[in-house]
Structure 1
Amino acid sequence: MAVPSDLIVSVSGIRGIVGAGLTAEATARFAAAYGSTVAGKRVILSRDGRPSGEMLRHAVMSGLLGAGCTVEDIGIAPTPTCGFAVRQSNAAGAIQITASHNPAPWNGLKMFGPDGSVLPAGAGQIIRALYETGDFARSAWDGIGSVSVPPDVSADHARAVLDTISVAAVAGQRFRVFLDANAGAGGPLGTRLLADLGCDVIQYGCEPTGQFAHEPEPIPANLTEVAPWVQQHECALGFVLDPDSDRLALIDETGTCVSEEATLALAVKYRLRQQRGPVVVNMSTSRMNEDVATAAGCPFYRSAVGEANVVGLMRDTNAVIGGEGNGGVIDPRIGWVRDPFIGMASILSLMAEEKKPFSQLVAELPKYAMLKTKFTVSRERLPGALAALEARWPDAEINRIDGLRLDGADWWLHVRGSNTEPVVRVIAEAPTAERSEQLCREAGAVVTGG
């Protein structure tokens, strides 16, 4: 059976429009394929707040039970809580029903391994092959799995985060903070965590109904109505979550949206004060993190793009923190998943230590401007285009781990082909927006032959 053309398959799961590419049949089949790789073992199941998640929950259960799995259904929960639950309960893996930051018509499955991290590419390819062939386990009547509802794990997740910081130091500042969960899965845990930190929490969309108040991706363009409320409520800062709560966006006390790239940089700055050690980010994440790590005298590494790739390199280097520039902080003390809750606690702890307005902490980070563009380029042309880029900037440091990354003295370019369409993504970062625009324009001319 071929994967439907409108069903997106990645190394860690599937995603599509509910009722079109993503149907109950396709969902149950993917769950059965996954269940075949952990047949007879315990699997955590959770979902974000999207209303379609209830239908898909039954489809996933059907696939897992048919493979003989014991399903522990933790209900609506953030993606990092799902990963945390796997580690805490020594489960064989997990499926989170979510479409992350995609619009409301979408949903999907994100799959986890026994260490609580999203599946790496190799494991994901095995499951896709099982889905396509249908050669997966089918239990007899007396071998079908079972379902249970374990004790609430969110309190343990919150406690694990709180154990990494000085709660008294944060609580002593009595911060008023704004939390926009946009009706996603992270509202209850985010509210609990911030209250435990002694914060006065102004809540917006903190009930996980899945009825989004604004577009779900937490980028400045989607927060124009929300951002002013931070200043209007006299908050020290605002936190914004995506629907499955693995990304953290920030709004300063003036109501100004802060680049998502700053989330990880601020968390890295605080973490390296606690413990010096290696830092890992992906190829397309801001150099702010490298500058912060270098200033602290710590090793710094870059992986290929993708959460599983970041986690793999974090393990290899014994990193103390890592993540991605989309607002994703990964702290191995909590789990191997992007976790906004450790991000919140770290940033509030940094504010408590520095006793400075949040906008000042952001202003003190290294200054860079990033631009993301894409150009239509055939797969056949891509190798020659990358070679031409190397020739265009012969003095740049070259990295071919993931497409091509060129590093200059104070700038970088990352050029990589799309896995799903004939385009090349070009990302540039430099001290000024004008320089980033110039780099993208020049790179685009090279790769398109213009």
Structure 2
Amino acid sequence: MAVPSDLIVSVSGIRGIVGAGLTAEAATRFAAAYGSTVAGKRVIVSNDGRPSGEMLRHAVTAGLLGAGCKVEDLGIAPTPTCGFAVRQLNAAGAIQITASHNPAPWNGLKMFGSDGAVLPAAAGAVIRGLYESGDFARAAWNGIGTVGVPPDVGADHIQAVLDTVSVAAVAGQRFRVFLDANGGAGGPLGVKMLTDFGCEVIAHGCEATGVFAHEPEPIPAHLVDVAPWVKQHECAIGFVLDPDSDRLALIDENGDCVSEEATLALAVKYRLRQQPGTIAINMSTSRMNQDVAAAAGCPCVRSAVGEANVVALMRETGAVLGGEGNGGVIDPRIGWVRDPFVGMAFILSLMAEERKPFSQLVAELPRYAMLKTKFTVSRERLPDAIAALEARWPEATINRDDGLRLDGPDWWLHVRGSNTEPVVRVIAETPDPERTAQLCREAGSVVTG
């Protein structure tokens, strides 16, 4: 059986529009394929609160039970809590039902291994092969799996985060904080953690209804109505979560949205004060992190794009922190998943130490302008386009781990083909917005020429 053309499969799992590519049948089949790799073992299941999650949770549970798995149903839970639960409950893995920041019609399955990390590409390929072949592990009538409800893992997750910082230092500042969870899974835990920090919380959309008040991707264009409330409520900072709570966006005390690239850079700055060490980021993440790490005398290494790739490099290098420029922070002490609760804890701790307005902390970061563009290029032409880019900037340092990354003295350019459509993504960063735009234009003309 072939994967439906409108069902997206990647290193992160599967995703599609509910009722079209993503159906109950597809979810059950994928869960059965996953269950076949951990037959008879404990598997965590949770969802991000979207209305379609209820239907898909039953479908996923059925597929796992048919493989004899012992399902631990967390109900609605953030993606990082799902990953945390795998290690906390000594499970063989997990399936989180989520479409991350995609619009409401979408949903998906995100699969984890026994380490609580998103499955790497090789393991995902095995599950896809089982899905297509239908060669599942099938339990007999007396070997069907069971369903249980575990203790409150969410509270343990938040306590683990609190244990990494000084709660008293933050509590002493009595911050008033704005939190917008947009109806997603992270609202209740976010409010709990901020309250435990002694903050006065102005909560918006913090009930996990799955009903979005604005577009779910937490980028400035979608926060036009939300951002001014931070200033109106006289908050020291605003935090915004995506539906499954693995991304953290920031709003300063003036009601201005902060680049999502700053989330990780601020977390890096704080973490390296705690413990110097290696920082791991992906190829398309801001150079701010590299500069912050260098200022602390620490190395910064880069992986291919994708959370699983960042985690693999963190393990290889023993990194003390990692993440991606989409607002994702990964602390191996907590788990191998992008965790906004870690990001909030570190940023509040940095504010408490520095005793400066949040906007000033952002202004003190290295200043860069990033631009993300894409151009239509056939897959067949991509190798020639890559070679032409190398020839155009012969002085640049070359990295071919994920498409092509070119590094100059104060600029970089990352060009990679899409896995799902005939486009090339061109991302550039320099200290000047116009220079960045020009770099993207030049690269675009080379790859399409």
TM range, normalised to the smaller chain?
Answer: over 0.9
- Structure 2 partner of 1:98: 98
- Structure 1 partner of 2:33: 33
Q: Secondary structure at the match of 1:49?
A: coil
Give the letter aligned to residue 302 of structure 1.
R
TM-score if structure 1 supplies the norm length? 0.99
Give the letter aligned to residue 194 of structure 1.
L
| RMSD of equivalent CA atoms | 0.4
Q: Secondary structure at the match of 2:380?
A: coil
Q: Deviations over 1:218-260 (max 9, x none)?
A: 0000000000000000000000000000000000000000000
What is the deviation of 1:89?
Answer: 1.1
Unaligned runs of 5+ in 1: none
Give the letter aligned to residue 247 of structure 2.
R
What is the deviation of 1:442?
Answer: 0.2
Q: Deviations over 1:326-383 (max 9, x none)?
A: 0000000100000000000000000000000000000000000000000011111111
The answer to whether the 8 Å contact 1:27/1:59 transfers is yes
- Structure 2 partner of 1:161: 161
What is the deviation of 1:421?
Answer: 1.0
Unaligned runs of 5+ in 2: none
For 2:12 and 2:370, the matched residues in 1 are separated by 27
The answer to whether the 8 Å contact 1:281/1:301 transfers is yes
- Structure 1 partner of 2:396: 396
The answer to whether the 8 Å contact 1:12/1:112 transfers is no
Q: Secondary structure at the match of 2:156?
A: helix
Give the letter aligned to residue 432 of structure 1.
D
Written as runs of structure 1 = structure 2, the 5 A alignment for 1:403-442 is: 403-442=403-442
- Structure 2 partner of 1:321: 321
The answer to whether the 8 Å contact 1:184/1:245 transfers is yes
What is the deviation of 1:403?
Answer: 0.2
- Structure 2 partner of 1:83: 83
For 1:300 and 1:58, the matched residues in 2 are separated by 43
For 2:172 and 2:87, the matched residues in 1 are separated by 32
For 1:135 and 1:16, the matched residues in 2 are separated by 23
Written as runs of structure 1 = structure 2, the 5 A alignment for 1:69-218 is: 69-218=69-218
What is the deviation of 1:13?
Answer: 1.1
- Structure 2 partner of 1:444: 444
- Structure 1 partner of 2:265: 265
What is the deviation of 1:409?
Answer: 0.6
Q: Deviations over 1:31-78 (max 9, x none)?
A: 000000000000000000101000000000000000000000011000
Matched, 1:237 2:227: no
- Structure 1 partner of 2:371: 371
For 1:338 and 1:321, the matched residues in 2 are separated by 10
Written as runs of structure 1 = structure 2, the 5 A alignment for 1:5-44 is: 5-44=5-44
What is the deviation of 1:12?
Answer: 2.6
Q: Secondary structure at the match of 1:298?
A: coil
What is the deviation of 1:439?
Answer: 0.3
- Structure 2 partner of 1:354: 354
Q: Secondary structure at the match of 1:341?
A: helix
Matched, 1:285 2:285: yes
Q: Secondary structure at the match of 1:16?
A: strand
Q: Deviations over 1:61-120 (max 9, x none)?
A: 000000000000011000000000001111000000000000000000000000000000
For 1:204 and 1:114, the matched residues in 2 are separated by 34
Q: Secondary structure at the match of 1:435?
A: helix
Matched, 1:221 2:221: yes
For 1:173 and 1:87, the matched residues in 2 are separated by 34
Give the letter aligned to residue 330 of structure 2.
I
Q: Secondary structure at the match of 2:141?
A: coil
Give the letter aligned to residue 210 of structure 1.
G
For 1:182 and 1:176, the matched residues in 2 are separated by 19
Q: Percent identity?
A: 84
Q: Which runs of 4+ in 1 moved over 2 A?
A: none
For 1:370 and 1:81, the matched residues in 2 are separated by 31
- Structure 2 partner of 1:380: 380
Q: Secondary structure at the match of 1:96?
A: strand
For 1:11 and 1:134, the matched residues in 2 are separated by 20
For 1:131 and 1:11, the matched residues in 2 are separated by 15
Q: Secondary structure at the match of 2:31?
A: helix
- Structure 2 partner of 1:309: 309
For 2:87 and 2:320, the matched residues in 1 are separated by 18
Q: Secondary structure at the match of 1:414?
A: strand
For 2:32 and 2:49, the matched residues in 1 are separated by 23
TM-score if structure 2 supplies the norm length? 1.00
For 1:417 and 1:158, the matched residues in 2 are separated by 38
Q: Secondary structure at the match of 1:380?
A: helix
The answer to whether the 8 Å contact 1:45/1:96 transfers is yes
For 1:10 and 1:398, the matched residues in 2 are separated by 26
For 2:415 and 2:431, the matched residues in 1 are separated by 19
For 1:74 and 1:4, the matched residues in 2 are separated by 29
Q: Secondary structure at the match of 2:379?
A: coil
For 1:342 and 1:371, the matched residues in 2 are separated by 27
For 1:193 and 1:315, the matched residues in 2 are separated by 28
- Structure 1 partner of 2:254: 254
What is the deviation of 1:163?
Answer: 0.3
